[in-house]
């Protein structure tokens, strides 16, 4: 895998594009300028790696658009050491952005092949602290709860009850919620065991959050 001055230049430009679209958090912009996004894609698609667009990564899934990754990350208000659950590991790119912000990342993926590929790939490019799990994100990771933050990177028809339970009081969940092709980006703050506060942050399009694990 080659990472040269040309890739670095393209990444800096990508970070600038994301800044111009409204992302202010410098640490997030630095992460985008640092992470070699072309490593997360097939070599035949290299030229697309540094456009601000989602892209297919196999098994019918996509690597999210960098702006969307930055937007969700900014809403999470990550502090160093935060324990974060990501639902939908996919390529692992979002997990790396969180790791760059010094979060402790636990990420879960329902597609076995993607899970295996990303679990092997992340340590190879230097992200050894990210923990990747194969399972159904609707159920979260009960053995590792509670989490300071939870991010869902697929379109959810509803807020999964198990995930709310696994969020600390005072914790934040970022979830694109909606049935069909369009979702509303919701920022949910858990106020107490029985109360939440919710804000809406515009509409986005994600691949769907599906029930149960898949064997392929």
What are the residues binding ligand SAH (CB under 6 A)? 61-64, 87-88, 90-91, 93-94, 108-111, 114, 136-138, 153-154, 207, 209-210
Tell me whether residue 27 or residue 210 sits nearer to ligand SAH (CB atom).
Answer: 210
Tell me whether residue 44 or residue 194 sits nearer to ligand SAH (CB atom).
Answer: 44
Q: How far is the CB of 192 from ligand SAH (least distance, A)?
A: 27
Q: How far is the CB of 90 from ligand SAH (least distance, A)?
A: 2
Specify which residues 131 forms β-bridges with.
106
Active-site annotation holds for 107: no
Tell me whether residue 64 or residue 183 sits nearer to ligand SAH (CB atom).
Answer: 64
The residue from 43, 44, 59, 64 that is catalytic is 64
Q: How far is the CB of 113 from ligand SAH (least distance, A)?
A: 10
Catalytic residues: 64
């Amino acid at each position: 895998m080659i990472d040269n001055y040309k890739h670095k230049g393209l990444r800096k430009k990508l970070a600038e594009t994301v800044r111009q679209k409204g992302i202010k958090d410098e640490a997030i912009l630095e992460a985008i300028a640092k992470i070699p996004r072309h490593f997360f894609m097939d070599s035949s698609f290299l030229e697309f790696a540094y456009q601000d667009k989602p892209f297919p990564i196999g098994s019918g899934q996509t690597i999210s658009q960098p702006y969307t990754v930055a937007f969700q990350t900014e809403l999470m208000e990550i502090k160093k050491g935060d324990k974060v659950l990501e639902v939908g590991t996919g390529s692992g790119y979002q997990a790396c952005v969180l790791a760059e912000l010094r979060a402790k990342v636990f990420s879960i993926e329902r597609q076995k092949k993607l899970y295996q590929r990303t679990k092997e790939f992340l340590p190879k490019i230097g992200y050894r602290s990210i923990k990747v799990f194969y399972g159904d994100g609707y159920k979260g990771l009960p053995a590792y709860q509670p989490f300071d933050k939870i991010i869902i990177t697929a379109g959810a028809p509803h807020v999964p009850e198990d995930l709310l339970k696994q969020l600390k009081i005072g914790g934040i969940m970022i979830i694109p919620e909606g049935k069909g092709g369009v979702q509303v980006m919701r920022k949910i703050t858990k106020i107490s065991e029985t109360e939440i506060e919710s804000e809406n942050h515009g509409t986005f399009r994600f691949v769907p959050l599906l029930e149960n694990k898949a064997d392929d």
